Amino acid sequence: MIRYALRCDQGHDFDGWFRSSDGFEAMRDAGQVGCAVCGATKVDRALMAPAVSDKTLTAPRNPAEAALQALRRKIETSSDYVGLSFAEEARAMHEGTRPARAIHGEARPEDARKLIEDGVPVAPLPFVPRPKTN
């Protein structure tokens, strides 16, 4: 599989995974690759930096950074990412209208404040969730 950074003719950047370069080109030429933002099908590869596998570049610099990386991995593997629906999902689970489960996502500050005021058990994460890609 190959991951390409893509850009539509409207200037939106997004990622896509393809079996091969030829596979990408065939899908693109058939109009089967659409922009993740606006749906435009005039899409091409964007400039990409090569992946570097030097462990010194990805290794945590200090114990606090290592702890944050471990926390991120634990949260991402043991909870569902609900994106911008976080406030709605958390409130529904608190009220019993949806089954309880571990979730993480994003909320506007005023929505998070209202959840806390209403006694919904939420906590901010010490990192920004990674957006999901294709």
Buried (b) or exposed (e) across 29-65, using 16+ Cβ within 10 A? Answer: eeeebbbbeeeeeebeeeeeeeeeeeeeeeeeeeeee
Give 63-80 pLDDT, tens digit per residue: 888 888 888 889 889 999
CB 6 within 8 A of CB 134: no
In this predicted structure, the answer to whether residue 53 has a pLDDT above a threshold of 90 is no
Neighbours of 90 (CB within 10 A): 22
How far is the C-alpha of 126 from the C-alpha of 122, rounded, in Å? Answer: 13
- Residue 49: the pLDDT is 65
- Residue 47: the pLDDT is 75
- Judge if pTM exceeds 0.85: no
Q: Could you state, in order of their start, the residue ranges of all structural domains in the chain?
A: 2-45, 55-117
Give 4-50 pLDDT, tens digit per residue: 889 999 999 888 888 888 888 999 999 999 988 888 999 999 877 66
Using alpha carbons, select from 73, 78, 74, 130 the residue that is nearest to residue 106. Answer: 130
